């Protein structure tokens, strides 16, 4: 019991079990949650996929950056919905975010965003805000599936004969495009007789298939090929 006489014993029974699910019977509430989450993604995508940033894309970090922006946009929307229902949870979320970002080894920023998203969805479940947790999980799952279908990597070629380096660049570029890949960046270091392509690959394309296509180029144009990701 609280000193003032208020009972702090957790609620039990069928009412406690159904608490949080009743909101699904209110169509406008569910629609409001969906609009908030989808609008956050749409507006986040407007910034993430700005034409100016797409034009200067020349590395895998640049390619992966929009995925991070979209994930954090989704996280921010979920956090706002939680705080709207339980304002005191803002401090809890702040603490959890700091703990995950600086004390947990979860990989790059994109992976950190997914971990925080899962955490705040779990927080919604603990607070019985299922009307936020379930739509956020569905939209988040679809978002990850769409973003991770975009596979990118670097194809680096070195050791090409100096006399044919320009022809070699053209041959490798054409071979990569023939395999259905998009070239989103290119760097040439002719003095060192090496060049690289930042490549966006179709989901079904295996690295071995691309390697075989590149190995089929004329011997005088071939160099040593190294892959990063893909």
CB under 8 A, 24+ apart: contacts of 105-108: 108/64, 108/68
Tens-digit pLDDT profile for residues 4-45: 444 445 556 677 667 778 888 888 888 888 999 999 999 998
Asked if residue 201 lies in contact with residue 153, where contact means CB atoms within 8 angstroms, the answer is: yes
Percentage of the chain beyond pLDDT 90 is 24
Number of other CB atoms surrounding residue 191 within 10 Å:
8
- What are the residue boundaries of the structural domains of the chain, listed by start? 14-148, 151-229
Asked if residue 205 lies in contact with residue 181, where contact means CB atoms within 8 angstroms, the answer is: yes
Burial of 143 (0-12, 13-18, 19+ CB in 10 A): buried
Cα 157 to Cα 225: distance, rounded to the nearest angstrom: 5
Please give the model's pTM, rounded to 2 decimal places: 0.68
Tens-digit pLDDT profile for residues 55-102: 556 567 777 788 888 888 988 899 888 888 888 787 777 777 666 666
Q: Which two tokens stand for residue 35?
A: 């609009």
Tens-digit pLDDT profile for residues 166-203: 999 999 999 999 999 988 888 888 778 889 998 988 88
Three-state secondary structure call for residue 206: coil
Helices and strands of the chain, counted as H and E runs: 9, 4
Say which residues have a Cβ less than 8 Å from residue 8's Cβ, sequence separation at least 6.
1, 2
Higher per-residue confidence, 53 vs 33:
33
Residue 120 host element (H or E):
helix 109-126
CATH 3.20.20.70 fits 151-229, yes or no: no
Cα 93 to Cα 123: distance, rounded to the nearest angstrom: 9
Q: Which two tokens stand for residue 5?
A: 């006489």
Closest to 50 measured CA to CA, from 61, 35, 65: 65
């Amino acid at each position: 019991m609280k000193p003032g006489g208020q009972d702090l014993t957790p609620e039990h029974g069928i009412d406690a079990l159904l608490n949080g699910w009743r909101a699904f019977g209110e169509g406008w509430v569910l629609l409001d949650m969906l609009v908030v989450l989808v609008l956050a993604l749409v507006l986040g995508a407007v910034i993430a996929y700005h034409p100016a940033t797409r034009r200067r894309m020349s590395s895998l970090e640049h390619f992966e950056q929009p995925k991070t922006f979209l994930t954090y946009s989704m996280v921010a929307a979920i956090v706002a919905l939680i705080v709207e229902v339980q304002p005191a949870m803002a401090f809890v979320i702040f603490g959890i975010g700091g703990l995950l970002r600086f004390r947990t080894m979860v990989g790059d920023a994109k992976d950190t965003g997914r971990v925080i998203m899962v955490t705040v969805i779990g927080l919604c479940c603990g607070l019985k805000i299922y009307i936020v947790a379930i739509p956020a999980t569905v939209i988040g799952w679809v978002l990850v599936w769409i973003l991770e279908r975009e596979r990118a990597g670097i194809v680096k070629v070195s050791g090409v004969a100096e006399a044919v380096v320009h022809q070699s660049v053209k041959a490798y570029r054409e071979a990569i495009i023939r395999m259905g890949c998009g070239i989103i960046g290119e760097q040439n270091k002719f003095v060192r007789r090496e060049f690289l392509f930042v490549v966006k690959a179709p989901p079904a394309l295996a690295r071995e298939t691309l390697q075989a296509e590149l190995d089929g180029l004329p011997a005088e144009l071939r160099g040593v090929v190294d892959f990063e990701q893909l």
